[in-house]
Structures are given as C-alpha cells and as structure tokens.
Amino acid sequence: MSDLKWWETAVIYQIYPRSYQDSNGDGIGDLQGIISRLDYIAGLGVDAIWISPFFKSPQKDFGYDVSDYCDINPEYGTLDDFDQMIAKVHDLGMKLMIDIVPAHCSDQHAWFQESRQSRDNPKADWFHWVDPLPDGSAPTNWLSFFGGRAWTFEPRRQQYYLHNFLPEQPNLNHANPDVRQAFVDIAKFWFDRGVDGFRLDAVHTINADSAPYQNNLANPDFVLGELPQQQQPFFRQLHDSAQLNQPSIQQFSEAYRACADSYEGDRYLMGELHGDDPIKASQTFTDTGRLHATYNFNLLAWDGLSVDGLKQAITSAVAAFNGTGRLSFAFSNHDVPRVGTRQLKNLGLTDAQRPAMQLLLLKLETCLIGSTCVYMGEELALSDVQDIPVDKMQDPWGIEFAPVFLGRDTCRTPMVWRKSEPNGGFSSANQTWLPVSAQHLDSAGLDEADRKGSVYNQFAEFLAWRKQQPAFMSANVISDITGGPRQIIFDRTSDQQTLRCCFDFDTLTATFEEV
C-alpha cells in the first residue's frame, strides 16, 4: 500500500520495564516478564515496542542514570533474556526500540569514576569540568531540572561538574570526539543484536559547547503557576540561550544518523526534546542527515489541554511538519500524569466518561501525521494514581517536592493483569517496588483483552481498520484543521483516498468519511 518507511506511520507501545510484569517474585518488572506479555501487546496490532532503560544502573533515576550501556541491570535479567525477547518481538511481526541516554550517565559509570580523580587522566575531559568563579561560586547560573544548581563541586579536581538533572547524573562532554565515538559504539552494540531503533532521551540536554559557558537569560514571560514545576526557579530562565539545545549537539545527531544508515532495515532514531521553542528545536534535529523524527510534547501538557488547546497544539506541529513522518505524538508517558486523569477536568468530563475519552484520544493521536507512542495502560484507560503514601514514593523529583507535588510515580505504578490474582497478577512478591493501585484492578489487562467492547478491543479493531486506509498509511498529509468549540476535524489525504476525520468531545466519538 505504501512506500513510506515503517516508522513514518508506526504505532509504538511504550513499556516502563520496572512496572510491566515481574517474573521472579522480587516485586520488580523484568525482561522475562515482558516476554510473557508480548502476545497481549501484539494483539493490539501495534507496529513496535519501545522499552525504557534496563541497562546497569544504581537506579537513582530508575535507569536514566546508566552505569553500563552494554549490559542489563541484574534485576531486569541478562543479555540472553534480551536476545530471547527481541527474537519473539520479531517473530510476532513487531519492531523493537530501546532508550539510549546520551546526555548524561551515572556517577558510578567507570568513565566518571576515572574522570573525577584528576585533571590529567585519560577520561579527564569526558565531562564538563569548570573552575570556580573567583569567589568560589558555580561558573554559571544554570539550574537543574530536579532543583538546585546544575553544578556540583568535586574536591579532587577543585572544579565543578555539570549535571542538568541529579548530581548523580553528570553530563557528558559531547565536544569531545571520543565521547561521540563511544556512543556510536553503543549504538552498534545494540543494532548488531537486532534493535530496530532508539528513542534518544532528552537530546536537547546534551552539552557539546566548550567553556567559557554563558549564563542563561531571564524568562520575561514567566508566570508563577499553581503546579510545583511552574514554581521552580528553573522555569524562570530561558535555557536555549545557553544551557540547552546548543547548536553543536548536532554533531552527535549526525554521527548517530550515519551509524543508523549503515545498517539495513530502516533503523529509526527518535529524539526526545523540548525547548523555549520546541517546534524550532525539532526542525534543527530533523534537518538533513540528522534524526529521523522527534518525540513531540505538544499534547503532553502536565495539567492537560482544552479542546481548543488540543487543536492549537496539533495545528502548530502540523504546520511545521506536514507531509512528513518526522514527528511522534503522545498523550502519556512515564514522565507526566496519565492522560486518563489529566484531560478529564480540561474537557469537562466525569470519571465515568474516562474510557470513552481515552478511546477517542487514542484514535485522535493515531490519525495524526507521523508515528504515535502509546504508553502502557492507555489501552486500558487507566487513571493516574494520586494516593501513593509519601513513604512509598520512589521518584527523586517527587520526593524532593512531596507532599505538594507527587512527581512521576503516579503514572508508573505496576500494570495489573488479572483482578482475581494477588497484586493484580503483576508479581507474587509481598511488596512491589511501587504499590499496585486498587483503582486499576477493574481494568486489568488480560481481563480487558477477554472482554468484548473493552477499550483494548475497540482500539485493536480501530488499528486493524487504520492499516487498510491509504489516507493514513500512504502519506503524512493533514489539511483543513477545523471544527466547532468541542470538535477537531481534519482531512487525511493521499493519492488514493481522502478521509475526513471528526473527533467530537461532546459525544466522545470519532467518525470517518471518504470525501
């Protein structure tokens, strides 16, 4: 039907491995657990799976602090388990993507352990080391996403090192060609094992500029908001002026693209990024010879969007990328509250309407141009979990600001599979890494897959229908985004077909008409 690459129209199912399925009773999800649920995922009719980090890590930020990029954290399994998993994924006709974290690693990584020892060791310039200012203070005003300065002092070197997140996540120096080559070698390691693509974590936070570093400018549009993340000093600055989205990052993008292009099978690079102007940043990352697509945040607003807000977000993204598959849309992921709760208030809906709303949003996002990332549990219309006790919280961001702000644990609680089983079938352990939510038990995965008319089955039927429509599968073109105050209407067009797509937020239904 189509000459498009697989990733230009793909529906990608995201797994947070710690919370998907525990196979050995330790309360933590693992690779064998994922293997046991691959038939469930394939039953949806998705094209690919993306698995969040499972590499060796001290788990300060649950895998986004990597201590070895080419091995598996023991609590998740082994490389043999990974090889079994990718073989079954491919046998089921799906692709496999994994998360690479290129901007920073763990402070326990051998690279940083060596680098911090002195100013003249072989890894001395693999990280951003800068002398204090004359008064002993940090070299710039840069702030960490997770609170406090983005600089920590290292007594052994008498210098500060940069970390855009936790102090335990030092930023790598991508101005150093040896660092860039190390990441190309990491890509080859996983491509050689059969991986079909990478979701590249927070590529806008790669730091590739060399000292002297400039201060961030003040954000003249900052307004103190109700949400804790809008109250942090971090958001009072314009970060693209110095700290983030540095132009020299593209040396990394170009090296990774060259590596991907050297393999057969359309290996895919999708970069997660944000910025003061996310659309402009996305265009720089997807310029010729760089990343294939960017992971788009337009629909991921922390407190949700009105219908008009959804329409504006879609319109701005499509205006920049229409006719291409260089965007990947998502309504939920492991970093924001679940859309099943987040959007209810903004759309003026009740919790009883959540399943119908979730199905409508799933249909909407899979009708947009490019690929779509569906976060585990969206196919079950799971709600966000707001009642995690503070002493059970795990997310360092949430712990920092609790109890006012619960961080990201609320969307990371374990999946449930059978209401009748202990821990909803997630684990046989007495205690799981995060509490299993009782509010999810009535929407357990295998129970819903068995139930006619469930969101799972309606979404699977829709995806099967979608794959037969040239308007979706043969071109990435949207025109005439219109609709009343409670509607989003647009045409998807190809040489063979034009489909008018109407999403009605009063009736919570989607209709499609050939025109």
Instruction: Catalogue the active-site residues.
Output: 201, 272
Pairing type for strands 478-482 and 95-100 reads unpaired
- Return the structure tokens found at 387: 């009642």
Give the pair of three-digit tokens for residue 312: 């504006």
**Residue 242: DSSP 8-state:** T
Strand 268-272 versus strand 293-295 pairing type: parallel
- Please tell me the distance from the alpha carbon of residue 151 to that of residue 205, in angstroms, as a whole number: 14
Determine the Cα–Cα distance for residues 101 and 219; give it in Å rounded to an integer: 28
Burial 116-153 (b: 16+ CB within 10 A, else e): beeeeeebbbbbbbbeeeeeeebbbbbbbbbeebbbbe
- Encoded amino acid at 286, one letter: T
What does the alpha-carbon distance between residue 58 and residue 44 come to, in Å, rounded to a whole number? 34
Size of the chain in residues: 515
Cβ atoms of 90 and 44 closer than 8 Å:
no
Cα separation, 264 vs 196, in Å, equals 10
Find out whether 323 and 317 touch, Cβ atoms under 8 Å.
no
Neighbours of 324 (CB within 10 A): 15
Q: Do 373 and 362 contact (CB within 8 A), yes or no?
A: no
For residue 241 the two structure tokens come to 């002026």
| Strand 237-238 relative to strand 217-218, pairing | antiparallel
Cis amide prior to 228 (ω within 30 degrees):
no
DSSP 8-state symbol, 125: T
**3-class DSSP assignment, residue 463:** helix
CA 216 to chain CA centroid, Å, is: 26
Residue 101 CB neighbour total at 10 angstroms: 27
Q: What φ, ψ does residue 207 adopt, rounded to 5°?
A: -110, 115
Helix/strand/coil (H/E/C) assignment for every residue in 343-375: HHHHHCCCHHHHHHHHHHHHHHHCCCCCEEEEE
Cα torsion 419, 424, 428, 429 to 10°: value is -140
Residues 397/383, Cβ–Cβ less than 8 Å: no
CB atoms within 10 A of CB 309: 14
**If we measure between CA atoms, which residue out of 46, 55, 93 comes closest to residue 74?**
55
Check whether the bond before 403 is cis (ω within 30° of 0).
yes
